[in-house]
Amino acid sequence: MKHIHPLILCGGSGTRLWPLSRAHQPKQFQPINGDGTLTFFQSTVQRHRTQMFSDPIVCVNARHVETVGRQLREIQCKASILTEPVTRNTGPAVLAAALYLMAAEPDAVLIVLPSDHVIQGDLNRVIARMHRAAFDGMIVTFGIHPTYAEKGYGYIMDGGEFDDYPGLHRVERFIEKPSVNVAQSLIDTGFAYWASGISMFRADKLVDEYRRYDPATLEAVTRALTAASPLAAETGLLLEEHFFAQAVSQPTEMAVFEKCRDIALAPTVIEWDDVGGWTSVHSIGLKNESGNVTSGDVVLLDTRGSLVRGSDRLVAVVGMNDVVVVDTDDALLVTNRASAQDVKKIVEHLVALKRREAESHRSQVTEWGGMKTMQAGAGFAMDLLTVDPGKQVTLIGEEGVSRVLVVIRGSVSVNGNRSQEQLTAGLSAMIDSATSVTLFNTADGAAEIVEISCGTVIAGVVAPSLTQFATGVRMADYA
């Protein structure tokens, strides 16, 4: 059997998992069980690191390519990264990967894997059994035996088993997100499966189906791949934006699978959850005798059936049942489990108010170390930068913004200001307006620097030159 190519899709914002998941740090890149554990993305990669699989291909939006590269290095995994300049749903991303593989291996078999699901069980055994059908030209979708009527999932109806492929079934039809009553009636037939979002097929098969059903998207993605540029710091390509934006924004299921004659269903007996909200995190978590799932510094008293997730401070919950409490460094969520799906509405409200908490965390991990927004207001911002040993970071200067750098631990050399300076703990440097500087840490330990930025204020509103500091989004080059 030829190697199967894992294609890991890293789209999605995970708004129902706020405040853990943010626009700039979505759920797939967050640790599943608290700090120090694998992220959803890393867990997906690790699940398919056996001799049956090639190194993965990762499709990710341009804003998250550095996060993908860093998390791959943390688990010492090589991968090819296809970067989407704009979001176009799963269809164009999967098509780009198929075209990418076809250049060297037209009959390559891909397994498409969402990066933000939790799976327990031997999924790889089912994948191995379905390989021959996929290689022979079938598009195989993996269906999960439903355990309850979920209105947020798509359903696949079983059309009976194939004679030539043991365990593989025909697809009678797809049903997209039915009501709870309809979902229950489907389950009662015994022929309904949850659509997992996992599928397997040959690269040239998917391209042929796009040629048949959506030739315009095929042409747009082909041109975007042909005109793609290599990534600066990672192995992979940045798809060309003008052409990629012309692709129809549709999921692969709608664009191809629901129309294709060679579609098939692989019933899969595993524990699966797409972790669409905090109730899912509670359901898949390790529960104590009171049915509570906890992580971080948490103390509970007379509390049952709850999810409590701490951060860098003590969280105490007393006399509460069936609640969700999620504490981060800049936001606290408290809700009952029955209302947890409405967290998305909170995020929409925060976006409308242009609150930073909808976009990013105060603390951000970077390739060179990390940064934390300590304080921000009209005309000023104060950030804590951590530069790891042997790393460097370039801070981009802006017109009208002056800065002071104060080293509080370790030492760094500062290049690009009036002259090169070596700063040790207790020393500071004034950075001229519009001047970019590079901080080098050549020491053995991490360096911590407080950066204080001051700029002009108009009618009490932070000037545009300071907006990126106030929102915690920094223009920085790093190596």
Looking at 315, 343, 371, the residue that finishes a domain is 343
* pLDDT tens readout for residues 99-114: 999 988 989 999 999 9
Report if residue 351 sits inside a domain. Answer: no
Q: Report angle CA 415, 452, 456 to the nearest 5 degrees.
A: 105
What pLDDT is stored for residue 188 in this prediction? 92
Contact between 468 and 474 under an 8 Å Cβ cutoff? The reply is: yes
Q: Are residues 200 and 52 in the same domain?
A: yes
Give percent of the chain above pLDDT 70. 94
Report if residue 354 sits inside a domain. Answer: no
Q: Are residues 111 and 228 in the same domain?
A: yes
Backbone phi and psi for residue 153, each to the nearest 5 degrees, phi listed first:
-105, 155
* pLDDT tens readout for residues 397-410: 888 888 899 999 99
Q: Are residues 53 and 183 in the same domain?
A: yes
What pLDDT is stored for residue 456 in this prediction? 61
Report if residue 233 sits inside a domain. Answer: yes
Q: Are residues 380 and 304 in the same domain?
A: no
Instruction: Locate the DSSP E strands across 126-228.
Output: 139-144, 155-161, 169-175, 192-202
What pLDDT is stored for residue 90 in this prediction? 94
Q: Are residues 391 and 461 in the same domain?
A: yes
What is the spatial distance between Cα 375 and Cα 383, in angstroms, rounded to a whole number?
A: 7
CATH number for the domain harbouring residue 455: 2.60.120.10
What is the spatial distance between Cα 321 and Cα 326, in angstroms, rounded to a whole number?
A: 15
Q: Are residues 282 and 269 in the same domain?
A: no
Please state the domain count of the chain: 3
Looking at 273, 290, 306, the residue that finishes a domain is 273
Q: Are residues 451 and 415 in the same domain?
A: yes
The counts of H helices and E strands in the chain are 12, 32
Q: Are residues 151 and 196 in the same domain?
A: yes
What pLDDT is stored for residue 115 in this prediction? 94
Q: Which residues of the chain have pLDDT under 70?
A: 1, 418-419, 456-479
What is the spatial distance between Cα 43 and Cα 35, in angstroms, rounded to a whole number?
A: 14
Q: Are residues 301 and 418 in the same domain?
A: no
Q: Are residues 192 and 102 in the same domain?
A: yes
Tokens coding 261 = 């004659």
In terms of residue numbers, what domain contains 419?
A: 362-478
Q: Are residues 332 and 460 in the same domain?
A: no
- State the number of CA atoms in the 13 A half-sphere of 175 facing the CB: 21
CATH number for the domain harbouring residue 76: 3.90.550.10
Q: Are residues 199 and 325 in the same domain?
A: no
Looking at 233, 256, 273, the residue that finishes a domain is 273
